[in-house]
Amino acid sequence: MIIEAKAIKLIEIYLFVCKRYEEELQFCCERFTNNNNPELTDQEIMTIYLFAINQEQRFKIKQIHRFANEYLRSWFPKLGSYAAFDNRLNRLSEAFKLLAATVISKSQPEDCILETSLLDSMPIITCSGRRSGRVAPEITDKTYCSSKNIWYHGLKLHVLGFYRISKLPFPEQILITPASVNDLTVFKESWGNIENRNFFGDKIYHDKDFFGKLEEEKNSTMLTPIKAIKGQFEWGIQFDKAANDLYSKAVSSVRQPIEAFFNWLIEKTDLQKANKVRSTKALMVHVFGKLTAAFI
């Protein structure tokens, strides 16, 4: 049994999933077999997963199944075994991908400042760099994370978020890439044609020629902390130090909420740790299922 407030939340999530399933999700996981009407429906599996993460902070599939078996049996009497639940969940990877996009796009708050965007990325780690990365090799690879001072195998989650005063930014777009893909490359390929926008990023986005052209052609600017010039004399560094430090501090204070956003996402879903994932589909469920759980 669960308390009344959580029971209401469970019903809300189930009704929302059912509505989206009827409108679009069913086409991502349609079955062409005799078992096309299982006793435990796809909608119920997605609801269990999302509810357990969103309301109970159960992040691992085994924890989710154990919780459902102990406390949600009266709601889902056909739950079945952990192995069957895990297998069925992985089959819904594309449905979670579509549902995440829908949930995020439909929940944009009104206080977003559409002319100002913050951007950054965070690692999604499948295993440490000291091991051989064997999970989803077609979409993951190995790289070094300077902020954590580690080598790792996995993905990188890139977020372009609308600025909100004194609040966490709201993601305009979320992209995943292999871990080694540079943040600046992602910006050039995906967001380099956005017009009339002020971007705030870290030093990785420093490219004077590219952003000079972007400002001239698209009226969009990239503001980053001052990056030291290689080979510059010490007197030159000291001459501009006060102004550069003040400017860098101002830029960093504006973009600090994007770092807080990642901390919130990790705390709410444990998204960064994917070391229990064993397949590409499971990794997609881990990423998009947890993004959905965070915003639903």
Tell whether the model's pLDDT for residue 99 goes beyond 80: yes
Q: Tell whether the model's pLDDT for residue 113 goes beyond 70.
A: yes
Least confident of 23-32, 56-65, 192-201, 208-217: 23-32
What is the token pair recorded at 60?
A: 């691992």
Same structural domain, 126 and 271:
yes
Which residues have CB under 8 Å from 105's CB, separation 6+? Answer: none
In the prediction, which pLDDT does 238 show? 57
Tell me whether residue 98 is in a domain. Answer: no
Query: Shortest CA distance to 195 belongs to which of 91, 104, 114, 288?
Result: 114
pLDDT of residue 124: 96
Question: Beta 150-163 vs 170-178: how paired, if at all?
Answer: antiparallel
| Assigned domain for 102 exists | no
Considering the domain boundaries, does residue 291 fall inside one? no
Per the structure, the complete domain to which residue 237 belongs is given by 110-277
The reported pLDDT for the residue numbered 234 is 53
Q: Residue 100 — very low, low, confident or very high, per pLDDT cuts 50/70/90?
A: very high
Q: What is the pLDDT of residue 129?
A: 83
pLDDT of residue 229: 57
Q: Which residue has the higher pLDDT, 235 or 285?
A: 285
166 with 256, same domain: the answer is yes
Amino acid letter at 139? I
Q: Do 129 and 257 fall into the same domain?
A: yes
pLDDT digits (tens, 9 = 90+) for 143-185: 998 888 899 999 999 999 999 999 999 999 999 999 999 999 9
CA 102 to CA 28: how far, in whole Å?
A: 14
Write out the two tokens for 283. 């990794």
Are 151 and 270 part of one and the same domain? yes
Position 210 in a domain: yes
| 161 and 253 co-located in one domain | yes
Radius of gyration of the chain (CA): 22
Query: How confident is the model at residue 32, as a pLDDT?
Result: 66
Residue 99 domain-assigned (yes or no): no
**For position 235, what pLDDT does the model report?**
45
The string of DSSP codes covering 124-177 is EEEEETTS---SSTTT-EEEEETTTTEEEEEEEEEEEEEE-TTS--EEEEEEEE
Instruction: Provide the sign of the torsion angle of the four alpha carbons 46, 52, 58, 61, taken in this order.
Output: negative
Asked whether residue 103 is assigned to any structural domain, the reply reads no
Percent of the chain with pLDDT over 90: 78
* Tokens 């990877």 found at: 93
Domain boundary among 91, 123, 145: 91
Mean pLDDT of all residues in 243-252: 82
Q: Tell whether the model's pLDDT for residue 34 goes beyond 50.
A: yes
pLDDT in tens, 81-90: 999 999 999 9
Please give the average per-residue pLDDT across 38-45, as a whole number.
93
**Among 26-40, 140-154, 234-248, where is mean pLDDT lowest?**
234-248
Based on the fold, state whether residues 46 and 119 are members of the same structural domain: no
| Cβ 135 vs Cβ 181: under 8 Å | no
Asked whether residue 36 falls in the same domain as residue 149, the answer is no
Percent of the chain with pLDDT over 70: 93
If asked whether residues 141 and 247 sit together in one domain, one would say yes
Residue 294: the pLDDT is: 96
Tell me how many domains the chain contains: 2
Confidence of residue 44 (pLDDT cuts 50, 70, 90): very high
Q: State mean pLDDT over 240-247.
A: 74
Mean pLDDT of the chain: 91
Last residue of a domain, which of 38, 59, 91? 91
